[in-house]
Structure 1
């Protein structure tokens, strides 16, 4: 007779979302921050007026960069910032963010992302954006960030 195995504890990745802080970036300074209070999709907070716990959003939408004062942009849990001196990679990240490609946590990570700025245009065109729209946005970002 085989011995019985002890029950396993299974923790799904989705259950761990509440433990990690979102990654916020300042595209002007090319810096990444993980802000206190941005953990998880919701937090349990005691409401004295209701007399019970309520769930409130833990997202920080109005955070400002401590260095320059620009609004920080939330890119998700799976974002890994490029080196600060690598302007082309930061431009690629900002271009992808502008077209709605974040780095949100999922079962398989953030999904496919281009490695270089040159591949970002083709990547966005494959996702259904017009080539003219992507090239205009890239030219605008290059003019603003001087890359």
Structure 2
């Protein structure tokens, strides 16, 4: 049975400018605000793990991933799959997406984006 179907879990939310993540109840009609700046937070998913605050490359990769519409969501049986952890990995996958003619979202979720 899927882990998230058996119990109630909180969703992870992220404020990219402040580099803050928090867990709140997931309500589709509610907008969660950053506790530091008050800006709306982005829904990251149940399986999200924030990079350290001082990891510039990790936060840039996270920003590219979330802005592409990719979330860290699964049913809890397995992890969310591949997600880039550095800005170099994001650049590599964006170049592969352009070269192969695939959507950026698809390239960012592939461990090996150059394979079709």
Task: Answer 1 or 2: which has greater strand percent.
Answer: 1
- Cα pair 2:19 2:53 within 8 Å, conserved: yes
Q: Secondary structure at the match of 1:96?
A: helix
The residue that corresponds to 1:95 in the other structure is 64
TM-score with structure 1 setting the length: 0.59
The residue that corresponds to 1:122 in the other structure is 92
The residue that corresponds to 1:13 in the other structure is 3
- Cα pair 2:34 2:40 within 8 Å, conserved: yes
The CA distance in 2 between the partners of 1:63 and 1:14, in whole Å, is 21
Please tell me the root mean square deviation across aligned C-alpha atoms, in Å: 2.2
Unmatched segments (≥5 aa) in structure 1 = 1-10, 39-57, 130-147
Say if 1:97 and 1:15 are closer, same or farther in 2 by CA, change over 3 A.
same
Whichever of the two has the greater Rg, that structure is 1
The residue that corresponds to 2:18 in the other structure is 29
The CA distance in 2 between the partners of 1:105 and 1:19, in whole Å, is 14
Q: Secondary structure at the match of 1:59?
A: coil
TM-score with structure 2 setting the length: 0.73
Unmatched segments (≥5 aa) in structure 2 = 105-116
CA deviation after TM superposition for structure 1 residue 69, in Å: 0.9
**Which of structures 1 and 2 has the larger relative contact order (alpha carbons within 8 angstroms, sep 6+)?**
2
Say if 1:90 and 1:60 are closer, same or farther in 2 by CA, change over 3 A.
farther
The CA distance in 1 between the partners of 2:88 and 2:40, in whole Å, is 27
The CA distance in 2 between the partners of 1:110 and 1:88, in whole Å, is 20
